Structure 1
Amino acid sequence: MMRELHVSLNQTQKVRLQAAFQHLSDIGSQASSGLLVSVSDTIPVNNEDGILKGHGTSERDGQVVATVCGVVERVNKLVYVRALRARYKPEVGDIIVGRVIEIAPKRWKLEINFSQDAVLMLQSMNLPDGIQRRRTAVDELNMRTIFEENDVICAEVRGFQHDGSLHLQARSQKYGKLERGQLLRVPAYLVKRRKQHFHDLEQYGVDLILGCNGFIWVGEHVVPADNEMVEDQESTLKDKEQSYTPLEIRQNICRIANSVRLISALGFAISVDAIIDTAEASKSSNVDIKDMLGAEFYVQTAEREVQKRISLLKKKRG
């Protein structure tokens, strides 16, 4: 449960944490949707008629049981189990964050938490000058000036090629190289596909990108360049090199990043609301950034989640 976050709890904190997870389990049983189940666990459906058993479920002795480990999802009468996958399962249109691991002819190869590396073709991205034109041999020679090994990139899943490789595209100003921030890696199943994966956290001066592949970027806010108003490319690059990230912004990046680490370690779904709630709770409780990953705030975060879900359950019941 405490994924990659080793917290040393005293006896009182252990009791509180166990109580919190028991409450969450009880609430999940009542709500059905969102319940974490193992193989052969019974899925509560409250004796409803016309229940449709979807993927990861079967019927046994008149009850719906799970056939895989995962999270119970429900769409009207359809009940299914979303399997917890250690690896990301790509879908066309997914927003992903990846790291460049190799530069090959007319393409970059990226590590994206998938079973194989993804490919970003030179012709599938906007060049820095923003001009739409055919790629030339000069462009190919200058590929390393655009992205080099270990650069972090945001892109979109374009699809699978006939050879089985996963291809990406970055034909928008919101895609491209990510700088001045932290790259975090969480289990991909904790990041749900939503309409919006790019978030400008104005109160923190921070950009947050929730990659569907479980790679999350937290960095200094960047104003997208307007291609029609680009003046002097060399001057822009020079100014960028001379500027720096203010201390307050760096602290905000660390606070948001630690919020992500904490939510992931507890096994809760990662959303922009959950991240902001956790960051704000740490500030209102005067918890230092370095202490956010300590035992007490860890337990408090679990206890706050219990209260949040109780409130949601009460609202649903009217």
Structure 2
Amino acid sequence: MRDLQVTLNQTQRVRLQSAIRTLQELSSTSSSSAVAATVAVADVIPVNLEDGILKGHGTSEVDGQLMATLCGVVERVNKLVYVRALRARYKPEIGDIIVGRVIEVAPKRWRLEINFTQDAVLMLSSMNLPDGIQRRRTAVDELNMRSIFEEDDVICAEVRGFQHDGSLQLQARSQKYGKLERGQLLTAPPYLVKRRKQHFHHLEDYGVDLIIGCNGFMWVGEHIETGENDMLEDQENQLEKDGNSNAKPMGSQDEEKTFTPLETRRHICRIANAVRLLSALGFTLSLEAIIDTVKLSFSSNISIKDMLAAEFYVQTAEREVQRRVSSSKKKA
């Protein structure tokens, strides 16, 4: 709630405080019944040190007891006990889907800002070339790197591993990865994004692609078909252009390919505002929550700009209370 910067009247303030109070009660009830325990600094973690327990991050042994050195949730992996911070910077794991921005074109690699302590590295050998042919990279490919990605380009990639110097190494060896265009880049706290099986979402009702990056960077843009068929069509078109010396310059058909319809742009802005709203309220950024917020704005006849106004903030918080109450009743 610390990012919430809207002016509330007395009625809205009372409604919002009531919703927050209810959410806190529901979260405390669920956390008390959960297996994982929530601890604060200097809390004792109940374990038997004689069983060979390994002290992990966020723990320390004091007077024969295991104590927490930060606020978070106690996690156990076999004999390893550590505390996972509730609010922390992004911690990459192999296989994470991330969204980043190019900040430097270096020899045989691109450097990306991905909301991590260090910049990430995307090697030229770790991505598909525009022609789609699997081959060894040559000096010509290195000279043409800026034709693929240049500074300030937004890219989607996958975490491959760590290099010896601690920097993060990425890979983009699939048609779903690569440069992102015709959309908006959003930034949210990484702890609001949970790792799931699917981070690429095609919202058919809105004609929009949504990429929820594990690093807190999210992309909302016009849906673009990707696949081998598109790649083959591009190659055939290129061959026709090369074989026809009387090829026509760019016309209306080419301009249509780079034009985003007005209705699609409105959907992009509405979904982006839903993400901003949920992030400011501190709610988990899931596909279900984002779509539910968008539908709420339609049903309440809220315009795109009014989604960030005080009344819709309060309505979204009250809607989250209703959702959690109904889900708790179903579990009971």
TM-score, with structure 1 as normaliser: 0.86
Amino acid at match of 2:237: D
Decide whether the 8 Å contact of 1:17 with 1:299 is kept in 2: yes
Question: Using the alignment, how far apart are the partners of 2:26 and 2:159 within structure 1?
Answer: 36
In the TM superposition, residue 39 of structure 1 has moved relative to its aligned partner by: 2.6
* Helix, strand or coil at the partner of 2:111: strand
Decide whether the 8 Å contact of 1:72 with 1:79 is kept in 2: yes
Question: Using the alignment, how far apart are the partners of 1:278 and 1:197 within structure 2?
Answer: 18
User: 2:237 corresponds to which residue?
Assistant: 232
Decide whether the 8 Å contact of 1:100 with 1:147 is kept in 2: yes
In the TM superposition, residue 235 of structure 1 has moved relative to its aligned partner by: 8.0
Amino acid at match of 1:84: L
* Helix, strand or coil at the partner of 2:272: helix
Identity %: 71
Unaligned runs of 5+ in 2: 45-52, 61-65, 242-248
* Helix, strand or coil at the partner of 1:120: strand
Question: Using the alignment, how far apart are the partners of 2:148 and 2:281 within structure 1?
Answer: 38
* Helix, strand or coil at the partner of 1:232: helix
Question: Using the alignment, how far apart are the partners of 1:92 and 1:139 within structure 2?
Answer: 27
In the TM superposition, residue 12 of structure 1 has moved relative to its aligned partner by: 1.2
In the TM superposition, residue 165 of structure 1 has moved relative to its aligned partner by: 1.4
* Helix, strand or coil at the partner of 1:292: helix
User: 1:273 corresponds to which residue?
Assistant: 288
User: 1:134 corresponds to which residue?
Assistant: 136
* Helix, strand or coil at the partner of 1:195: coil
> Which string of whole-angstrom CA distances, capped at 9 and with x for unpartnered residues, describes residues 188-239 of structure 1?
0100000000000000100000000000000000100314454224889965
Describe how 1:151-166 pairs up with structure 2 within 5 A: 151-166=153-168
Decide whether the 8 Å contact of 2:193 with 2:284 is kept in 1: yes
User: 1:293 corresponds to which residue?
Assistant: 308
* Helix, strand or coil at the partner of 2:308: coil
Unaligned runs of 5+ in 1: 44-51, 59-63
Alignment of 1:21 with 2:26, yes or no, is: no
What is the CA RMSD across the aligned residues, in angstroms? 3.2
User: 2:40 corresponds to which residue?
Assistant: 39
Which structure has the larger Rg over C-alpha atoms? 2
Q: CA 1:81 to 1:202, structure 2 compared with 1: closer, same or farther past 3 Å?
A: farther
Which region of structure 1 is more displaced relative to structure 2, 32-41 or 251-260? Answer: 32-41
Describe how 1:205-244 pairs up with structure 2 within 5 A: 205-226=207-228, 227-230=231-234, 231-233=236-238, 241-243=255-257, 244=259
In the TM superposition, residue 56 of structure 1 has moved relative to its aligned partner by: 5.8
Picking from 254, 275, 287, the partner of 2:269 is 254
Amino acid at match of 1:315: K
User: 1:98 corresponds to which residue?
Assistant: 100
Question: Using the alignment, how far apart are the partners of 1:34 and 1:260 within structure 2?
Answer: 30
Question: Using the alignment, how far apart are the partners of 1:83 and 1:255 within structure 2?
Answer: 32
In the TM superposition, residue 163 of structure 1 has moved relative to its aligned partner by: 1.8
Amino acid at match of 1:215: F
> Which string of whole-angstrom CA distances, capped at 9 and with x for unpartnered residues, describes residues 240-274 of structure 1?
55430000000000000000000000001100000
Amino acid at match of 2:28: S
Question: Using the alignment, how far apart are the partners of 1:20 and 1:249 within structure 2?
Answer: 33
Amino acid at match of 2:131: D
User: 2:246 corresponds to which residue?
Assistant: none
Q: CA 1:261 to 1:72, structure 2 compared with 1: closer, same or farther past 3 Å?
A: farther
In the TM superposition, residue 81 of structure 1 has moved relative to its aligned partner by: 5.5
Question: Using the alignment, how far apart are the partners of 1:35 and 1:27 within structure 2?
Answer: 16
> Which string of whole-angstrom CA distances, capped at 9 and with x for unpartnered residues, describes residues 20-53 of structure 1?
111001111111159996735999xxxxxxxx99
* Helix, strand or coil at the partner of 2:125: strand
TM-score, with structure 2 as normaliser: 0.82
User: 1:197 corresponds to which residue?
Assistant: 199
